[in-house]
């Protein structure tokens, strides 16, 4: 198959491309995806913007997380497109989710013609904020879940529902904090939380605008 051809319709000012699942399959390499064009001023445009790291989500191999190797192949509009494994993992998750598989997504590596310096510069430098602000929701993709993920989110949910647990102004803060430590299974909950925030996603400075500008964010 030929490389993805973006020239079928160059983007006009204030336009973006959106990618969606056209035909699901057993594996991500067999699934078919399609691109459409939408105007940011069009109120009918409804899409998820994806905030993610191009490289590896876990820093298990020295320097591996810093690479942007495109080692996974997906099919878009009849063409082979190479993407990073982390992005391939996200698309695989989209395929599995009954709701997300019906949605459209803005993903920079796919929706921006990376071979066109002018388009890339315009979308990144002047439109990025509006793209994330206009999305109906932003998905912060930290990478595939591991043995720590669910425990970490459960623990963070517990902290969020205990407003006096870590409140500096609360007389019971110290007692509640100690209780949360003692009640932890050998510190596994805190270890899992540390593992979650140790993911390479949080090293990106871009996440500040990607998570602050939109009204809704899913992690």
DSSP state at residue 184 = S
Decide which of 183 and 126 is more confident: 126
Q: Please check the confidence at residue 216 and state whether its pLDDT lies above 90.
A: no
Q: Residue 90 CB: number of other CB atoms within 10 A? A: 24
Structure-token match 């990073």, residue found: 84
Q: Please check the confidence at residue 105 and state whether its pLDDT lies above 90.
A: yes
Whole-angstrom Cα distance, residue 6 to residue 114?
10
Helix (H) or strand (E) holding 94: helix 85-96
Q: How many CA atoms within 13 Å lie on the side-chain side of 66?
A: 2
Q: Both tokens of residue 116?
A: 């066109």
**Interacting residues of 26 by C-beta distance below 8 A, sequence separation 6+:** none
Nearest CA to 38 out of 94, 97, 119, 106 is that of 106
Whole-angstrom Cα distance, residue 146 to residue 130?
33
Nearest CA to 103 out of 112, 90, 116 is that of 90
Whole-angstrom Cα distance, residue 165 to residue 177?
6
Each residue's pLDDT tens digit, 162-205 = 655 555 555 444 444 444 544 555 467 766 666 666 677 767 76
Mean pLDDT for 138-162 is 68
Mean pLDDT for 73-83 is 90
Question: Left, alpha or beta for 140 (phi > 0: left; psi -120 to 50: alpha)?
Answer: beta
Each residue's pLDDT tens digit, 10-51 = 788 889 999 999 999 888 888 999 999 999 988 778 999 998
Mean pLDDT for 42-63 is 74
Mean pLDDT of the chain, nearest integer: 77
Helix (H, G, I), strand (E, B) or coil at 50: strand
- Give the predicted TM-score (pTM) of the model: 0.74
DSSP state at residue 114 = T
């Amino acid at each position: 198959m030929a490389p993805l051809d973006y020239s079928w319709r160059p983007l006009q000012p204030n336009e973006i491309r959106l990618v969606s699942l056209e035909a699901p399959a057993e594996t991500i390499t067999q699934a078919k995806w399609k691109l459409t064009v939408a105007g940011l001023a069009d109120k009918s445009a409804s899409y998820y913007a994806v905030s993610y790291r191009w490289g590896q989500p876990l820093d298990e191999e020295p320097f591996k997380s810093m690479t942007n190797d495109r080692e996974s192949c997906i099919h878009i509009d009849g063409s082979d497109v190479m993407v990073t494994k982390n992005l391939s993992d996200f698309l695989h998750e989209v395929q599995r989710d009954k709701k997300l598989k019906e949605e459209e997504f803005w993903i920079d590596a796919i929706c921006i013609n990376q071979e066109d310096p002018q388009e890339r510069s315009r979308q990144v430098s002047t439109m990025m904020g509006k793209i994330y602000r206009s999305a109906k929701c932003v998905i912060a993709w930290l990478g595939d879940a591991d043995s720590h993920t669910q425990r970490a989110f459960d623990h963070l949910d517990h902290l969020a529902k205990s407003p006096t647990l870590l409140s500096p102004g609360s007389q019971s803060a110290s007692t509640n904090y100690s209780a949360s430590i003692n009640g932890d299974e050998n510190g596994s909950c805190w270890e899992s939380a540390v593992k979650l925030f140790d993911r390479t996603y949080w090293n990106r400075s871009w996440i500040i605008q990607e998570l602050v500008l939109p009204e809704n964010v899913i992690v």
